[in-house]
Amino acid sequence: MKHIRITTVKQYVTKAERQEDDRLQRQMAPSPFYLILYLIWIAGAAVMGNNILRLSLPLLLTGIAGIWAITGLLWFLYFFHKKIFMVVSLVFGVAAAAAMYPLASASATMGAAAWTNTKEGPVSLLMAVLTAVFLMFLLEFVLRIHAVTFLISAGLITAVPFTDLSFGLWEALALLGCMVGFVVLNMNDRSRQRRFVMKKRGIITSFCVMVTVGLMTIIMLITVGVVDWQQEPLYAQTLRFDDRLHEWLIDNASLLDEDFLSGYLSRGNLHQTGKEKFELSVNAPFYDRLYLREFIGSDYNGQGWDWAELWQEIPLELSDRSPEQHTRYEDSEESEEEDWGWGDEEEEEPYEPTYFVERELFVSPLVYAAQNDYLKEMQDFSDFLKSYRIESLSWLGGSPSMYSSLRGDSFEVKMHRGSIGYDGTGKIAFFLSEDNVVYLLNTTPADTSDYVFEHFSEILDRDPAYVSSVRAIPSKPEVLFNMYSSDYIAEMLYDRTMAMRQAQKEEEQVRSGEALSGAEPDTESPARKLRVKYITDFYGMVIPYYPEFSRSTIAWKMVDDRTAGAEITQASYTVSYLTERDLPGEIDWSGYDAYRNYQQYYQNAIKEQYTNFDPDQTPRLYQLCQDMKLENVNEVTTFILYTLQTHAVYSTSPGNTPIGKDLLEYFLFENGRGYCIHYASTAALMYRMLGVPARFVTGFGVDPAAFGKPTVTQEGDETWYTSTVRDYSAHAWVEIYLEDHGWVPVEVTPTASNTMVAEYPGYDSMEMERIMQKYGWEFRKNAQPQVQSGAGEEGENSSPLITWVSSPYVFIPLCGVLSAAAGIVFLLLRRKRSFRAPVGSSQCRLLFDKLIRMLHDRGHLKEYYGSEVDFILQLSRLSSALSAEETADLVHRLEKITFSTVSETPEDVEAVADYYRRLARSEYDSLPWFRKPMFKYVKAFLPPGA
């Protein structure tokens, strides 16, 4: 069965028809409108990219004008002098290849940027630009592939949030308008209709492009106003969606799990979804923000902060264990992670407690002093000592602290002097320091220079009779080690009585088979306590400031209950701590001279480490701080608060930091928006630059309001208040070192009203006010960021003209003027064009049809179309512009042209045009003045020159 063949292309085209088609094809050259569209696109892309190119305004405008001129020339040559265009293309292609070859080879060796600084560089670069212009012209006008310009526009717009591209209203309209135009053009250029279809489609396409682009422009202007009016609510909606998306991705795809509590500084927005982190229980209400430290940073590396070296592996040579034994206790984050179940599930091993060996630890003298009350209770220890042989020994020990803060092998500490006690079998039993701190040993080394220490559980397994706590005994006199396992938070100033009692109690517990749990120190200490209980996948260890160094045991339930795949659900630990209010106001240093020396050594060490910074990383920040001459830490703090408050506002959605820009400098000097990590990091760097040891810290800042409705439980004599800490409380701050106080937190993140509320011992709002007045500083009143343009040190790219043009409030009137001008030009061109018949059509017929429409529009002869018998009579009666003979002549000419095979002559055209002109003029003159522009320009009834 054969099928009917249907095509839209004629099968056999005669030579004459082909020539006609070619002629029409030539006449189908894009009108200047398309060229203008393309030139606008070039200008928009150039202005947009100039934030990266950083050209001065005159140079930019010259460049744009140059590209426009070249494009216009190519357009003219291609559509009107094709042969010359071919020659020019050939010559240009050869020259471009010859000039760009050295550019390409140089880029491979020395880099394009370096090449442009050489003598040949700019020439080759210019040729590269010209080549790009030529290639784009080929794509757009010769091959009519509009997708490339569309994709470039879309790519530029999409890249705006991640780069330094500017995107003002002008750029948006230029790119968007052209994108829309190119889409419409692309739809039509794809088909290859011939003859009258091509001719007609070109006219329709032009109209459609203009309508679409114009519509888009009007809508864009309206939406700019709407967005400007309701910016924040619109952003808030998007951010809420972003938070939900973020949460979903984390829950379902394990993606974007940002580790806020680490040194990494996010370059985007803050996502907080209220996710639960852990349960926090306290035994006493607190009235100030409770800072719980988790990460402490040392050096800023541009992406974030490095970890402060708080932990260090135990050197193998300091241990008398065999490698196999030592391996068991190696400090390994990876093995710890695997133990936590994050490694290979199939190779799960029983949990092994891990030793962390700290290098120098330090405790605040005030805490130390506060602790001394306990030491006064150790009167009965003398009885204990009587059973041991005491031998004096001068060697170095130390007062271990919760957080080590020192780096460096160069650090040396001379610590306490004390005595070693031996038990009845000759084994070293303990060391009693001068300040009555007891250190207990549980193994017998060969000599005093070689000490061994073992884990509590190991000792119990081997020799339960021994005291089951571990103390730090330095193996080298000049170096202090303090060792504790992951089961312990800290072993510090130790209440020997308490320790013994505690150890015996735990020993009994283990023997009785009870699982170790969060044992609390058996003491009547009034110290505050907080307990952290893990309930989700958060397993960081958060410690408050001023931890009390009584012995605390963290007994992970998982030690006993851990099985493959078991969830760690009840792990918890308890820390005793003090608040600032609990500390004594003054220190009685009598009897603590060694400790005071110790503090001095400590201060010297941290001075070197925690005032470290790289000026090349944040040159503007360095420049800002360099010239400041401030007298003390309070003035430094005030200056930092003043700088932060006047340069930025708090926002959890500051947007993305462009690629290649330093996060902190972009925050402070360009964006002006950020949240706690930005403020804390900037403050930490500024402190260092101004000579104050400072550290960047992340953790949780729990406000008393978070304990608004706690769960109250009674455990023995103690009342515990429990509340769940969520990710809302995750926070970053800076801590500075204060003499006699140690590391104290400084809150540098403003409140919602952009108010600074930093306080620490010796500094409060009154002190801040005094210093502000001294230097004449003033906080900003409004909460808007002082956003600066993208100008760099050498930047002159953001010229006033571009900024002005990009401003929507200035652009709207400008756009109005341009639109009006464009509208006028359009009407004039349209009017002129409406009196020109398309090729192949009759000019007389066009004029006659226009005449009929004009009459109908004016309300005359609405039932006549020119072929009626009495049309001549009616028309001649209607207007005095034409006599009856002239009207008859007009109609007869039209009849001849329409119904006979005779084509119109120039005389016909001239006569009909004259008749039309006179009639139109007559109608125009009869109109009131306010209707004349409509008749003449909008409806285009009056011909040009009439």
Partner 1 sequence: MKLITVLLMLALTWYLAGTNRQPVMMALAFAGAALMVIMLIFSQYIRFRIHAEIPSQPNIARKNTQTSFTLHTRNTSRLPVNRFRLTFSMQYTTERFFSATRRLNGSCAGRRGDRDNDSLFYFTAPYCGVIRLKLKWLKVYDYLMVFSASKKIKNVSEEILVLPEPKEMRLDMPPFGYYTAEPISPETSDRPGDDHSEIRLVREYRDGDLIRHLHRNYSARTEKLWIKEFQHENDYIFDFLLDTSGTKRLNAAQWDAFYELISSVMYSLLREEVILRVFWVDQKRGGLRLFELSSREDIDRLMTELYRSDTACTPDEWATFTGDMARSGMRINTNLEWFFLEKPVHRFQVKNIEKQLMTEYFIIGR
487 contacts 353 by C-beta, under 8 angstroms: yes
DSSP string, 321-365: S-HHHHHHT---HHHHHHHTT-S-GGG-------EEEE--EE--H
Residue 752: burial class (beta carbons within 10 Å; 0-12, 13-18, 19+)? exposed
CB of 171 to partner 1, least distance (A): 8
The helix or strand, by DSSP H or E, that contains position 701, with its residue range, turns out to be: strand 694-702
Q: Which is nearer to partner 1, 357 or 920 (CB)?
A: 920
440 contacts 430 by C-beta, under 8 angstroms: yes
CB of 273 to partner 1, least distance (A): 15
Q: Which is nearer to partner 1, 87 or 197 (CB)?
A: 197
Residue whose entry in the numeric block shows the structure tokens 């292309």: 9
Angle at 223 (CA atoms; ends 54, 233), nearest 5 degrees: 95
Q: Which is nearer to partner 1, 6 or 705 (CB)?
A: 6
Question: Could you tell me which of 885, 884, 897 has the C-alpha nearest to residue 847?
Answer: 897
Q: Which is nearer to partner 1, 222 or 821 (CB)?
A: 222
Q: Which is nearer to partner 1, 487 or 670 (CB)?
A: 670
Q: Which is nearer to partner 1, 200 or 389 (CB)?
A: 200
- Residues in contact with partner 1 by CB under 8 A are 1-12, 154, 157-158, 160-161, 167-169, 171-172, 176, 180, 183-184, 187-188, 191, 193, 196-197, 200-201, 203-205, 207-209, 211-212, 215-216, 219-220, 222-224, 226-228, 231, 234-235, 237-239, 241-242, 268-269, 653-656, 673, 808, 853
Q: How is residue 211 written in tokens?
A: 């309508």
- What is the residue type of 482? N
- Report residue 679 CA to chain centroid gap: 15
Q: Which is nearer to partner 1, 4 or 113 (CB)?
A: 4
Residue 941 to residue 908: CA distance in whole angstroms: 20
CB of 868 to partner 1, least distance (A): 19
CB of 941 to partner 1, least distance (A): 12
CB of 654 to partner 1, least distance (A): 7
CB of 211 to partner 1, least distance (A): 7
Question: Could you tell me which of 532, 498, 504, 497 has the C-alpha nearest to residue 518?
Answer: 532
CB of 34 to partner 1, least distance (A): 15
650 contacts 752 by C-beta, under 8 angstroms: yes
CB of 548 to partner 1, least distance (A): 44
Question: Virtual CA dihedral for 844, 850, 852, 853, nearest 10 degrees?
Answer: 160
CB of 234 to partner 1, least distance (A): 6
C-alpha separations of 847 from 240, 309, 837 in Å: 62, 91, 9
Question: Could you tell me which of 625, 681, 637 has the C-alpha nearest to residue 657?
Answer: 681
Q: Which is nearer to partner 1, 195 or 533 (CB)?
A: 195
723 contacts 710 by C-beta, under 8 angstroms: yes
DSSP alpha helix (H) spans, 54-111: 57-80, 82-109
CB of 239 to partner 1, least distance (A): 6
Q: Which is nearer to partner 1, 223 or 883 (CB)?
A: 223
CB of 9 to partner 1, least distance (A): 7
CB of 14 to partner 1, least distance (A): 13
Q: Which is nearer to partner 1, 12 or 287 (CB)?
A: 12
Angle at 263 (CA atoms; ends 258, 267), nearest 5 degrees: 55
575 contacts 525 by C-beta, under 8 angstroms: no
CB under 8 Å to 24, separation ≥6 — which residues? 194, 195, 198, 199, 839
Q: Where are the beta strands (DSSP E) in 441-513?
A: 482-485
548 contacts 503 by C-beta, under 8 angstroms: no
